[in-house]
Amino acid sequence: MGWRDLERFMDIIVDEFFAEPIELHPWIAADYNDPGHADSARKVVKTIGCYVMPGAKAVGESGTVSSGMAARTVENSVWVSITEDNIGDINAWKQHDRVYLPERNAWFSIEKPVPSATGRPQFDLIRLQVGSL
């Protein structure tokens, strides 16, 4: 069993306990007055991944410090982590593409894709207001 096999085995365990449905929607961005539109040249990908919100762990959902942990600034407040086996080439996804979390009924815009040497890239996200699609 090689290193990649062990990595995939660990990803199966992580996804089994923490993953949720995720949809990646290709998007053509416009400008601040125009939210853009779906990119029909690329297909929507429906898969599973882990939604990560580290600020909630550090300061709690209500914003209080818990268990002596110090709150600290994070570069991105939320991201999704998806195995490359589930999304293919991360470079196919661009800034402003959309991410939908159906169980949360929440839409996000990709701020930037972040490649991973471990085969589990992430997408840094910006939450979208309802109606801003």
CATH number at residue 90: 2.40.10
pLDDT in tens, 18-59: 999 999 999 998 777 777 899 999 999 999 999 998 765 444
**Residue 115 corresponds to which amino acid?**
P
Q: Is residue 132 part of a domain?
A: no
Whether residue 13 is contained in a domain is answered as: yes
* Cα-based angle 108, 45, 86 (whole degrees, multiple of 5): 105
Question: What is the per-residue pLDDT for 3?
Answer: 78
Instruction: Look at residue 29 in the predicted model and tell me its pLDDT.
Output: 83
Compute the distance between CA of residue 96 and CA of residue 129 in angstroms, rounded to an integer.
Answer: 14
Dihedral over Cα of 4, 54, 13, 102: its sign: negative
User: Domain span at residue 10?
Assistant: 3-127
What's the rounded mean pLDDT across residues 118-129?
Answer: 90
For the chain, the domain total comes to 1
In this structure, what are the phi and psi dihedrals at residue 76, rounded to the nearest 5 degrees?
-130, 135
Query: Please, which residues have CB within 8 angstroms of residue 88's CB and are 6 or more apart in sequence?
Result: 45
72: confidence class by pLDDT, cuts 50, 70, 90: low
Establish if 98 belongs to a structural domain: yes
The alpha-carbon radius of gyration of the chain (Å, integer) is: 16
Whether 60 has a pLDDT exceeding 50, the answer reads no
In a domain, 133, yes or no: no
Tell whether 18 is covered by a domain: yes
Residue pair 102/25 in contact by the 8 Å Cβ criterion: no
pLDDT, mean over the chain: 83
How many residues are there in the chain? 133
Q: Is pLDDT at 90 greater than 60 in this prediction?
A: yes
CA separation for the pair 24, 36 (Å, rounded): 16
Tell me the pLDDT tens digit for each residue of 2-13. 878 888 888 999
Burial class of residue 3 (count of CB atoms within 10 Å of its CB; 0-12, 13-18, 19+): exposed
Residue 21: which H helix or E strand, with range?
A: strand 20-25
Q: What is the reported pLDDT for 55? A: 61
Give 124's strand partners: 79, 112
